[in-house]
Structure 1
């Protein structure tokens, strides 16, 4: 199957609010930038459907789904709903599309699973909301589309699914869903000590879960070692029928929500290594709070998936997409003036260096466990 991208116009007009980290455009930037590059002709694009409430109760509780629908309709929540379901909080605010937007993400991954029935690759940049819990919103995530992606892939015939998450934050909701499932592999790299402060090295899960917390300053050379010593061997040994990659870009150096130091080369390298390891490949978005770094990263990954090389210099139409972005780091402050490489290039410079302290020791511990597990 020719690689496909699933998107939606709902991401262009919706925002979590003027003070929230997710006030920035992300999916719409990927769509516009990919089209400006000539990488997204009409036959490569699919509009995402919206998952119905009845489909969401396969994993989320009926009470929570109903509360999320009510909150969108009323544009308010009462104290009991806030306490029980964590809706209407600073992290998970009330906003006009608070049900429809995440339901579109779930609909996108469910469509992707159908399209991947006979193999292929699909990118759903609106997916990757990996924190949501069955009865609660959590960490900017109202519905857990990675969970639905794994469930839908299995319903479409993929018995064993490998889920790899390179977001700066641990995928606590996904691990909650599949920690005891022998047919799901979870490999997560994430910044140590960062919210939600789960996924420690000692937290090995009940089933096939490999968590690698990363120290500050973790860079591209570190990730290349982790990829080759942990991520790819674990997935290869698992022999999955499908791979899901959550490619949160908040681990990139310029992102305000982590202290990791990756470039988008790290993401592209993980993607290229994983793609041959299963006949079905689903690429999700995730975190990412600098509009230039997230838009450039996910567009570059789509290009990698679709067989395009990043140009040395963006053409004027693509450059115009990036120059039109506006962002202030704290909300209501002075807009950031992007450095020229943020608007003229797609691929970051390589960000390497000597091994970051602590990475080799943690990797050795997990490698020993991986050999015993495999």
Structure 2
């Protein structure tokens, strides 16, 4: 067995997602399992080089996990020929400039979404990477979640027949930060810092819909700021300039309609923080992060509307759980492993910077739709 080391510059690991999901639960988890077996007698060993602006924070993470390599000098890391991959989980506003540097340095790229704050920049990055001949990947974690993998299994098996509609509910109450601390960084609520739920979540909905049901062909959205006053990490009040809720209607290739609500100002009355209900001619399903339940047309009850009597039907009990039938690893780790195999073995890969640009496009059009109060077509992108 041969061990091949791949050095990965990981920028943004002091943030919540960069640390928990990408470093601890993905790269370090791959190391804990002994590396990534490639199937040809080679084990790929990821060697992270932690990058961040705050020296004490980066060093603390390195010390916690016994990692030797960390720095605050991104340029020096990119100039190091032994570093093959650059990963970016910084705030959105800082991402494009760092990706440009990494492309110029010839590094393979893997990054969080959105890839940029505008479609023009996202496409520029995708074209530059293509011209440089480097491999690129964008995190599209939702499609690797157990609930959506079960949903994909149903779709591939023809369970739904023609799909009619998709209804999505995402969100939870993010505290304002005055009498209870907020669960999200304050920059999420400042448009000038790249915040806003539309730019955060519409890229997710683009790839979920695209992967499972078909390309989004039109969007009609309403983005709003329900809570205009919040408090930052230092207890200082500020005016929220970014949207904290977005309500979208998406027409899909093939005719199905998707409606997805996204909100950081909603209290949860559902089984999971995100749920999708898919209704087809032959059956329906409700999928969340981990679970998926179905109701086939042969077992669909016949409710009758009668507001004068209390409801007696146990509606939730009329659905059947979809079994796991497989082991489901962490979604971020699963996609990391596929990207590493793509880099090492040139295996097929479709979640590149162009796919990331589609997400930015949908967010941009969603915000424009909201501002103009009309439905907008979503042109197909190409390089």
Q: TM-score, normalised by structure 1?
A: 0.28
Structure showing the higher helix proportion among its residues: 1
Give 1 or 2 for the bigger CA radius of gyration: 2
